[in-house]
Amino acid sequence: MTSKERVLTAIAHQEPDRVPIQTYLTPEILQKLLDHFGFTQFEDLMKIFGVDLRSVNAPYRGPKRPLPEGSVFVDEWGVGYMMFDHGHGGSYPEPNHLALLEIKTMEDVEAYPWPSPDDYDYSVIEAGCDAYADYAVCCGHAGAPDIVNGVGRGRGMEQVLLDIMMEDPVGIAIIDKRCDHYYEVLKRTLEAGKGKIDILCLGEDTGNQAGPMFPPDVFDAFFRPRIQRYIDLARDFGVKSMMHSCGDTSKLQARFTEMGLDVLDAMQPEPPGMDPERIKREYGDKLTLCGLISTQQTLPFGTVEDCRAEARHRIDVIGKGGGYIFSPAHCIQANNPVENVLAIYEEALGLKPGAFSQGVPA
């Protein structure tokens, strides 16, 4: 099978020749893996790990925003970021200029210099699809629409939560600016792909470690219609929909299937409600599961044997009959042992233990 065939077969809940593979890496662990194999390009690592999905997106070509004081870069929304060292061998960009928090009135909403869907270069999309013709081609990302996190970076998460719960018209207008923007960007991207895109990726962290981020009635009233637009957009173009959501989504998975979501991505096995076998029994014929390799426990703190055992369980039990994409539950962090990462991908590819230990297998 080609990678494209493998992924689409799994999403159709049929068993492919092997489990489809995805990866998510922080820059620090990526560099360690590149160094291990002697590679310089991410694509080389993707190929040796057998990753079956590739992304094609329109690059931003719009005006550059003024760099806020104390920030190292600024995004298209005007939000400034610094790099925060989290003390475990790596760093993350964290917002330090909350541009959207300065919006106080509906007049401010209308006056704000919002990015435009015209600011992206869609001319590169079809060529990108052609370059990845044998892979499952994805467009979009976990930041679209990503209401809580995405708007929270520019407005503060506490304020976004208040906006939603209090139904503040200014806060809701800001949220809908983001939702409408990415909807149009992705619509144009799908049009530019001319039928060569397979999966529309979107994101919304609907859960945390203890359960849903919001009561079900708030999800239904506020989040569901906004997410549904994107799932319907995928269906309109004949592509699959794939949504990233961290945390315990167990109480929302029935809703996801009702909404027509095809793939639930970056599924964490650690929260109490996220038992992989139960989810497979209840939703395995409707919802393709992506993730479930623990990035909070097994990969960082387990032995190589622990990692192999978890990988084999996901492949043999969760992947049985299709409906599973093998992947870490989130980005593998900087301090994870390289040998643990190598072990899970050896298992996913059916290689003998230690095949990657000395670098590229002979």
Q: Along the 362 residues of the chain, how does pLDDT read in single tens digits?
A: 999 999 999 999 999 999 999 999 999 999 999 999 999 999 999 999 999 999 999 999 999 999 999 999 999 999 999 999 988 888 999 999 999 999 999 999 999 999 999 999 999 999 999 999 999 999 999 999 999 999 999 999 999 999 999 999 999 999 999 999 999 999 999 999 999 999 999 999 999 999 999 999 999 999 999 999 999 999 999 999 999 999 999 999 999 999 999 999 989 999 989 999 999 999 999 999 999 999 999 999 999 999 999 999 999 999 999 999 999 999 999 999 999 999 999 999 999 999 999 899 86
Q: For residue 275, which of 259, 260, 261, 289 has the smallest C-alpha distance?
A: 289
Contacts (Cβ under 8 Å, ≥6 apart) of 67: 73, 74, 80
Q: Phi/psi of residue 260, each to 5°?
A: 90, 15
Residue 357 belongs to some domain of the structure: no
| CATH classification of the domain holding 100 | 3.20.20.210
What's residue 87's pLDDT? 84
Q: For residue 347, which of 317, 309, 319 has the smallest C-alpha distance?
A: 309
The stretches of 194-251 forming alpha helices (DSSP H) are: 216-218, 224-236
Q: For residue 260, which of 278, 237, 284, 242 has the smallest C-alpha distance?
A: 242
Residues forming beta bridges with residue 209, ordered by sequence position: none
Domain that holds residue 31: 3-349
What's residue 26's pLDDT? 96
Q: Residue 184, exposed/middle/buried by CB under 10 A (0-12, 13-18, 19+)? A: middle
Residue 362 belongs to some domain of the structure: no
Residue 341 belongs to some domain of the structure: yes
Residues forming beta bridges with residue 201, ordered by sequence position: 140, 242
Contacts (Cβ under 8 Å, ≥6 apart) of 114: 77, 177, 181
pTM over 0.75: yes
Cα separation, 252 vs 121, in Å, equals 36
Q: Phi/psi of residue 278, each to 5°?
A: -65, -45
Q: Phi/psi of residue 172, each to 5°?
A: -65, -40
Residue 325 belongs to some domain of the structure: yes
Residue 79 belongs to some domain of the structure: yes
Positive/negative CA dihedral, 100, 104, 110, 113: negative
Task: Work out how many domains the chain is built from and give that number.
Answer: 1
Residue 143 belongs to some domain of the structure: yes
Residue 354 belongs to some domain of the structure: no
Residue 34 belongs to some domain of the structure: yes
324-328 and 80-85 as β-strands: parallel, antiparallel, unpaired? unpaired
Residue 259, number of CB atoms within 10 A of its CB:
17
Cα separation, 9 vs 13, in Å, equals 7
Going by the DSSP 8-state scheme, the letter that residue 315 receives in this structure is I
Report yes or no: 192 and 122 within 8 Å, Cβ to Cβ. yes
Can you tell me whether residue 159 is helix, strand or coil? helix
Q: For residue 244, which of 210, 289, 181 has the smallest C-alpha distance?
A: 289
